[in-house]
Structure 1
Amino acid sequence: MVPRIPVSVDLVVLTVRCQALSALVWRRDRPPSEGRWALSGGFIQLDEDLPAAAARILAERAGLPGAPVHLEQLQTYGYPDRDPRQRVLSVAYLGLAPDLPASTEAHMSWEPVSSLHDMAFDHRRIMVDGVERARSKLEYTPLGAAFCPPEFTVAELRRVYEIVWDRPLDPRNFHRKVTRAEGFLVPTGRTTTRDGGRPAKLYRRGPATLLHPPMLRSLKD
């Protein structure tokens, strides 16, 4: 009889919180990997597909029901020793959202990505892959706006890029690049002073799915 391998879904949920790129994690209270941070996850049910499983785990395990989280499939992890208890195949999903509230689950916590070194199982590897996917997608897609509220200033968007890319950006050059990228930003006709100083124009995310020209990290400002 051919053994059946269970399939789980693990979520790398990222947000910009307290001026840091943060991930939603929980500290395991039982073996294996007791005391280590872990991603929220769970096994897929027989009557659901992968996107439905990811949405269910986001609501039930991560404690973010109804949250405006952009979810996309990240990668599949299936090497034999990733879980010491049994052979488990994991399909990881990346979730991105603006500054989210505390989870409805008391055991879940937002922690800066830079502090998450000792994680359960292979969750550090999965999280690092998720962070790199997010950084790469900011180069070629308007996904940076997924970290912003529905209406935002260019300065607020720049802070997202700086936090996710972990590097400072020249304000003038950044403004020029994002406002010239076709379909990236749409002016709302409104302004705000929430950043202090002079009123700043408010924008919303435009219809573009790819940035032209791209916002390449390798290029100098």
Structure 2
Amino acid sequence: MFSEAANVTERRQQPPALAISTVIFALRPSASSGRPVLWLPLVRRIREPFQGHWALPGGPLTQAESLQDAAARNLQETTAVVPKYLEQLYAFGGLHRSPGQRVVSIAYWALVEPTEAALAAESANVKWFRADKLEQLAFDHNEIVNYALWRLRNKMTYGTIAYHLLGEKFTLAQVREVYEAVLDRTLDPANFRRQLTADRQIEATGEYLQGGKHRPPRLYRYTGVARDNFGNFDDDEAVVPGTGPPSS
């Protein structure tokens, strides 16, 4: 007991370690309604601290890689996901967020299309969970997920980020379902269609979605240049209105 306590004290006296954690959002159908809802993959910790608890994919930063490269590498190693959209979220550095040595975690968040999410590795220690029904995670990872959700919902109201959760071709109803899933509210189909087609960010492909019982809906694609140009946005100064920034 004494040696363990002494070891913790010794680690506390060391310089803070730097780690990477990443929230990955994807849409998957609800088991009850079949409508898309937000899911994210978690990794079961196999060692202390928090052994056996679920946590965000992540790991240490090596000497020879950038923060974004480290986030991408950790995702590929743990989940086999290679997201096209990867953005820096925030630096989480609470004094007591990790037992033992202090750890500052640079959090990222990623969005993946359905085809990308389908390729994600799953095992006894890597599973997908509904973002709105998470248990208590390791460290402060619930706080990180909540902040990533706020950031996603905020960007949905003024940007074109929703298209990163869709495939290359989609129906207008599928776009609306993305907004409804993320914002967690029902949108008027007619008003949504009118606003969506008025902003000239999408165009009809000339194709139709096949396989339904009714008249097949028209397929569209996103035409904005932003789709393939999203990169590393370091919005470190952002805060959640009414709640203040995450602990640091």
Q: Is the 8 A contact 2:109 2:148 kept in 1?
A: yes
Distance 2:27 2:159 in 1: 18
The match for 2:110 among 69, 91, 95 is 95
Q: Of 173, 181, 190, which aligns to 1:163?
A: 181
TM normalised by structure 2 equals 0.77
Aligned to 2:62: 45
The answer to whether the Cα contact below 8 Å between 2:15 and 2:102 also exists between their aligned partners in 1 is no
Per the alignment, residue 91 of structure 2 pairs with 76
1:149 maps onto 2:160 in alignment: no
Whole-angstrom CA distance in 2 between matches of 1:49 and 1:175: 41
Match of 1:13 among 24, 41, 48: 24
Q: Does 1:192 align with 2:212?
A: no
1:31 aligned partner, one-letter code: E
Runs of 4+ with >6 A deviation: none
Partner of 2:132, secondary structure, is helix
Which of residues 16, 26, 47 is equivalent to 2:43?
Answer: 26
Name the SS for the 1:83 alignment partner: coil
Aligned-residue offset at 1:127: 0.5
Please list the CA deviations of residues 33-72 of structure 1 after superposition, one character each: whole Å capped at 9, or x if unmatched: 23322100011110011111111111112322xx344111
Aligned length: 206
Displacement of 1:101 in angstroms is: 1.6
**1:108-147 pair list within 5 angstroms:** 108-147=126-165
Is it true that 1:62 corresponds to 2:70 in the alignment? Answer: no
* Rounded Cα–Cα distance in structure 2 between residues aligned with 1:122 and 1:133: 17
8 Å contact from structure 2 (residues 19, 104) kept in 1: yes
Query: Greater Rg, structure 1 or structure 2?
Result: 2
Gap regions ≥5 residues in structure 2: 1-12, 30-35, 228-248
C-alpha displacement of 1:209? 4.3
* TM-score, with length taken from structure 1: 0.86
State whether residues 43 and 78 of structure 2, in contact with CA within 8 Å, keep that contact through their aligned partners in structure 1: no
Q: Judging changes above 3 Å, is the alpha-carbon distance between structure 1 residues 102 and 189 closer, same or farther for their aligned structure 2 residues?
A: closer
Q: How far 1:6 moved relative to its partner?
A: 1.6
- CA root-mean-square deviation: 1.9
Instruction: Give the distance between the partners of 1:181 and 1:171, measured in 2 at CA.
Output: 16
For residues 51-94 of structure 1, the C-alpha deviation after alignment (integer angstroms, 9 at most, x for no partner) is: 11111111112322xx3441111111111111112111111111
